[in-house]
Every structure is written in structure tokens, then in C-alpha cells.
């Protein structure tokens, strides 16, 4: 929690009241590997800031196959923003890929916080902008990079994650088959 | 709900029919699955033809098939390991047979979450063949560097067994016909024996384990290739004595020649009855997600063409599993 507060303070001033409010609307939680924090089809009321571990958001398509949208490691946020924004059931499942610690926020209370403490506006805008940048970058990468380039970038973005997750998680994040991923790895080893 | 039912013993086209039946209700330990895909196996055909009447007598009409994948839509009040919305697969127990239907109830301990990296159709093709292969090879105690002969590597059980044995680090001999040699090699078998042009007995020698998926002469011949003190496991050969006793056949004796061959080689002979098991399916899920095992599908039929799917199964020409997409 202190780290999150520090992170906010690095971007803006934080009044003691605002800091106290953040503490009041958040809960530290630890989940075991395999735990589902959000489940496709159910209501979403929480958003999570990761302090330790690895989480993944994914959806099942109509054929039952998983597609990974995002991995979240230390200092990343994860939730189902489509569901929250549209007030609809979750389109994604968020699961822990290893034992993970998070700070859990109630999304309604976060919204209230912006009304109560307008001082959060720059931090919120900054967080959102970075989120949009990373999404746009991901879309552009998907459109124009080769599978091998996408994989290299993945390793850069998520260092040390590979040992902790399964190949099909990575393949389904990159939008390539597991066979392609294996081939790319073999090629990479030769380089 | 719509279901494909066995209406009597006899020819496939005369003995299967689509009927409108009531949706099953969950008991305390059941999950109710909305079926996305089902798969058919040789046993499903044998049941229709009446070949298994003595062992598994049917009441008519009886909804067909055992393999299923789908979504849990309801759970019994004694179920804590599944939730509504879980994507699952199962080989349902005998008393719950009937996966060629829009819904099926299954006792929770026969169910596992399906592998996340494959479709419902692929997942439905796995359970019966996968459990049969896993339970047979585990009974034989397969381990790294064992030499194993698996008969019919292109069959549903054989193709799974080849991959499972390779995943365990064994050296795999398998037999198949000329047309299938290449794709069976791709499954990872070390030595694919084309039984049309080669004599498997002169190639696979002194093996630790024989997995007999063919029966007839092959059960007895297994003892010619197995090493002293090895193991022969069969899913189609004669019953072994302890299995027969389980079925109440107290006086049953292993056929004389087989008993002698087994004793001469000091090699254990065991007939394996596949039993539904969710924990084993969960192990298989991990192996599929790690790409140690792939599903092999011959063809996917729409539900409305299930009877054609049975005819295709009966032809014996399928390379891989026959799957039926339900919804």
C-alpha cells in the first residue's frame, strides 16, 4: 500500500484526508495460484493493483478457447474495464498465475473519490493516458509485427515472467499458435 | 431437449433416433452440463449393435455416448469443486450415459475443467481414449527409458498412448498401416512399424511393456515380445482372473495358452477397465496445455448428422476421433 501511495505522491501532492480516504476504500489481499478475482459472466465491482505475483485476464471464445488480454505484474492495474464502464457482466476472467498480493479497490468508491478529492484528477488522467498508450501500442504491434518480434517485445515487457506461466498463455497473448511459439524459441536459441 | 437415443439393438440406421426428452435434474453430487460437443468411440457402436448386452445391458430408449465438453449451468448442493460457468470435459459414468443431448448431468468427480488452449470439439475427443491410455500405462508403471510396444498407434486410444508414453520419456514402438505411418511418426513414436510390410515381432523385442489394443492373437503374441518380468496390459483381450472376480466370475480362468505364456515370461497380464476420473482428466488437461498431447480429430459432425457420424465410426476408417458439435 505504501508503494502505491508513494507512486501517487511522485505524481502529485496528496492531502492527509485524501491519503486516509485511499486507505479506507482499499484492502490488501493475497490469493493462491488459480484463484479467480473476476469471472466471465459475473458482475464486476473491484479493480486490483498488483503488489506481488502474476495475474492474467482472458476471455473464452464461443469455441471454448482462451484468449489472453493482459498479464499484470508488480505495480500494474488489472480489472475488466469493459464491464465496469458499460455496467455489464464481465467479459473477462482475471486469475492468479501464481500466489499474488493485490490491493483491492471498490470501483464505485474510486469514482466517489474523484468527486470528493479533485486533486486526484492529474493522477487519474496520467494513469488513463498510460493505459491508452499501452493499448494502442499493443494493437499496433499486433497489426504490424512478426510473431518473432512480438515475442521479443513480450520478453522485454514482462521480464522473468516466462518461467512462471505456461506457453499457451503466451501464445494466446500474442495471438499465435503454440507450435509457432516453439518454433520462434528454437530460432531464437540459434541466434 | 433433443437427444440421440438407442431405441433397440441392431443396425445403426434402424436403432438410433432423435427424441425429445426431458432435461435431466441434478442430484446432490452432480453438475448439469450444457453440452457443446460430444465424441463417439467404438464402444458406442458396439452398444447399439448389442455386442455388450451381457456386460452393459441397456434399457430402451437410452441416450447415447460418454464423451462430453460443455459449460456447467447448474450444480448440486453437494458440489464445491465446480461453479456455474466452468468450461469442463468428462467421460460420464455408465449410469449417466447420454452425452448426445443438449444437457447431461455428471457426478462431479468424473468432471474436470477443460484444457484452456483447445476448443470444445477437441476437448470432447479426449476423455474416454485419454483415460483408457493413461490408466493402462500407469497400471504398467511406465517410466523414463522404458521400451513399450503400443499396438495401433493411429487408433483413438493408441494415438493418445503414444503421446503419453513419449511424455513419460519412454521409447515407443507402435504398429500401424502404411497410410498412417507418417502422421503417427509426427505423434513422436520412435519406431513406427508398418504392419503391412514389416513383422513387428522381429523389430520390437524385449520390451518392458506391451499395450494391447487389438486383442485376438495379439494378446498372446504380446508375450513373445515382452521381456522376462515385463508387463502386458490389454483393453480388448481376455479378462484377467482378478478382474473377472470383480465381476463375480469366481471360477474364471485365464485362457490356458495365455496363462502359460504369462507364467513362462514371469510377465504380468492385466485387463484394464477404464474408469471415469476427474483427477486423471485434470492431469491430462495440464499435458494438453503444455502441448505434450494433441487431440486428433477425423471429422466434426453437426448434431443433426449424428447417425452419419455413427456410420462413419462403424466403417472403421476414421483417422482420429469423431466428434459431434451439439451447440
Rounded to a whole number of angstroms, the distance from the CA of B119 to the nearest CA of chain A is: 5
Across the interface, whether the CB atoms of A168 and B123 are under 8 A apart is answered no
ipTM of the complex: 0.85
**Percent of chain B with pLDDT strictly greater than 90:** 93
Q: Chain B residue closest to A167 (CA)?
A: B290
Measured in whole angstroms, the distance separating CA B73 from the mean position of its chain's CA atoms is 26
Beta strand spans in chain A (E): 26-31, 36-38, 46-52, 55-60, 66-72, 77-78, 93-96, 100-106
Interval B198-242: pLDDT, tens = 999 999 999 999 999 999 999 999 999 999 999 999 999 999 999
Query: Which A positions 59-88 lie with beta carbon below 8 A of chain B?
Result: 60, 63-66
**CA atoms in the 13 A half-sphere facing the CB of A38:** 30
Q: Is the pLDDT of residue B41 over 90?
A: yes
Please say whether the beta carbons of B48 and B64 come within 8 A: yes
pLDDT of residue A191: 80
Classify residue B88 as exposed, middle or buried by CB count within 10 Å of its CB (0-12, 13-18, 19+). buried
Indicate the pLDDT class of residue B92, thresholds 50, 70 and 90.
very high
Interval B246-270: pLDDT, tens = 888 889 999 999 999 999 999 999 9
pLDDT of residue B54: 82
- CATH number for region A2-117: 2.60.120.10
Nearest CB to A64 within list B83, B85, B123: B123
Q: What does the pLDDT average to over A21-44?
A: 95
Interval B118-147: pLDDT, tens = 999 999 999 999 999 999 999 999 999 999
Across the interface, whether the CB atoms of A166 and B290 are under 8 A apart is answered yes
Cα gap B301→B305, rounded to integer Å: 6
Q: What does the pLDDT average to over B158-183?
A: 96
Give contacts of B119 with chain A, Cβ < 8 Å.
Answer: 63-65
Interval A100-158: pLDDT, tens = 999 999 999 988 988 899 888 888 888 889 889 999 999 999 999 999 999 999 999 89
Cα gap A84→A42, rounded to integer Å: 11
Across the interface, whether the CB atoms of B120 and A64 are under 8 A apart is answered yes
Cα gap B308→B302, rounded to integer Å: 10
pTM recorded for the entire structure: 0.92
Element (H, E) at B171: strand B171-176
Nearest CB to B119 within list A65, A166, A171: A65
Query: Which A positions 162-181 lie with beta carbon below 8 A of chain B?
Result: 166-168, 171-172, 178-179
Classify residue B164 as exposed, middle or buried by CB count within 10 Å of its CB (0-12, 13-18, 19+). buried
Q: What does the pLDDT average to over A55-62?
A: 96
Residue among A57, A39, A68, A91 at smallest CA distance from A181: A68
pLDDT of residue A154: 94
Cα gap B56→B58, rounded to integer Å: 6
Interval A76-114: pLDDT, tens = 999 999 999 999 999 999 999 999 999 999 999 988 988
Q: Is the pLDDT of residue B176 over 90?
A: yes
Write down the domain spans for chain A. Answer: 2-117
**Percent of chain A with pLDDT strictly greater than 90:** 72
pLDDT of residue B161: 98
Indicate the pLDDT class of residue B289, thresholds 50, 70 and 90.
very high
pLDDT of residue A4: 83
pLDDT of residue B108: 98
Q: Chain B within 8 Å of A43 (Cβ-Cβ)? A: no
Give contacts of A39 with chain B, Cβ < 8 Å.
Answer: 83, 85
Amino acid at each position: 500500500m505504501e508503494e502505491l501511495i508513494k507512486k501517487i505522491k511522485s505524481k502529485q501532492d496528496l492531502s492527509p484526508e485524501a491519503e486516509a480516504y485511499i486507505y479506507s476504500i482499499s484492502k490488501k489481499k493475497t490469493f493462491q495460484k488459480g484463484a479467480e478475482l473476476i469471472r466471465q459472466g459475473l458482475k464486476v465491482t473491484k479493480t486490483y493493483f498488483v503488489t506481488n505475483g502474476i495475474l492474467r485476464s482472458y476471455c473464452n471464445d464461443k469455441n471454448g478457447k482462451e484468449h489472453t488480454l493482459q498479464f499484470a505484474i508488480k505495480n500494474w492495474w488489472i480489472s475488466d474495464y469493459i464491464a465496469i464502464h458499460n455496467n455489464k457482466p464481465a467479459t473477462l476472467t482475471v486469475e492468479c498465475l501464481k500466489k499474488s498480493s493485490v490491493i483491492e479497490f471498490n470501483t464505485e468508491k474510486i469514482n466517489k473519490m474523484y468527486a470528493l478529492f479533485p486533486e486526484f484528477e492529474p493522477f487519474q488522467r496520467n494513469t488513463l493516458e498510460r493505459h491508452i498508450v499501452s493499448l494502442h501500442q499493443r494493437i499496433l504491434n499486433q497489426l504490424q509485427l512478426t510473431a518473432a518480434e512480438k515475442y521479443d517485445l513480450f520478453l522485454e515487457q514482462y521480464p522473468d515472467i516466462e518461467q512462471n506461466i505456461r506457453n499457451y498463455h503466451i501464445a494466446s497473448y500474442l495471438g499465435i499458435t503454440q507450435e509457432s511459439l516453439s518454433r520462434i524459441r528454437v530460432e531464437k536459441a540459434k541466434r | 431437449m433433443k437427444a440421440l437415443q438407442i431405441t433397440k439393438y441392431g443396425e445403426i440406421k434402424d436403432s438410433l433416433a432423435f427424441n425429445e426428452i426431458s432435461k435431466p435434474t441434478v442430484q446432490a453430487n452432480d453438475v448439469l452440463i450444457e453440452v457443446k460437443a460430444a465424441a463417439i468411440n467404438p464402444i458406442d457402436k458396439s452398444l447399439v449393435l448389442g455386442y455388450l448386452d451381457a456386460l452393459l445391458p441397456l434399457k430402451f430408449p437410452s441416450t447415447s455416448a460418454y464423451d462430453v465438453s460443455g459449460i456447467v449451468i447448474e450444480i448440486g448442493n453437494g458440489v464445491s469443486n465446480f461453479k456455474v460457468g466452468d468450461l469442463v470435459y468428462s467421460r460420464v459414468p455408465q449410469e449417466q450415459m447420454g452425452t448426445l443431448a443438449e444437457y447431461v448431468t455428471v457426478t462431479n468427480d468424473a468432471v474436470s475443467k477443460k484444457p484452456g488452449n483447445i476448443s470444445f470439439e477437441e476437448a470432447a475427443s479426449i476423455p474416454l481414449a485419454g483415460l483408457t491410455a493413461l490408466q493402462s500405462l500407469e497400471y504398467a508403471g511406465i517410466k523414463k527409458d522404458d521400451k513399450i510396444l503400443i499396438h495401433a498407434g493411429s487408433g483413438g486410444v493408441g494415438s493418445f498412448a503414444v503421446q503419453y508414453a513419449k511424455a513419460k520419456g519412454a521409447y515407443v514402438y507402435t504398429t500401424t498401416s502404411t497410410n498412417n505411418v507418417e502422421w503417427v511418426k509426427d505423434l513422436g513414436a520412435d519406431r513406427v512399424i508398418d504392419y503391412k510390410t514389416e513383422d513387428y515381432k522381429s523389430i520390437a523385442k524385449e520390451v518392458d511393456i506391451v499395450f494391447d489394443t487389438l486383442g485376438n492373437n495379439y494378446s498372446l503374441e504380446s508375450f513373445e515380445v515382452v521381456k522376462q518380468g515385463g508387463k502386458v496390459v490389454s483393453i480388448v483381450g481376455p479378462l484377467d482372473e482378478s478382474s473377472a472376480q470383480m465381476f463375480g466370475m469366481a471360477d474364471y480362468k485365464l485362457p490356458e495358452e495365455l496363462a502359460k505364456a504369462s507364467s513362462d515370461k514371469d510377465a504380468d497380464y492385466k485387463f484394464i477397465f477404464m474408469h471415469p476420473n476427474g483427477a486423471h482428466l485434470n492431469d491430462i488437461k495440464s499435458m494438453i496445455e503444455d502441448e505434450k498431447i494433441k487431440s486428433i480429430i477425423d471429422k466434426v459432425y453437426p448434431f443433426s448428422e449424428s447417425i452419419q457420424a455413427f456410420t462413419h465410426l462403424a466403417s472403421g476408417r476414421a483417422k482420429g476421433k469423431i466428434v459431434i458439435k451439439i451447440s
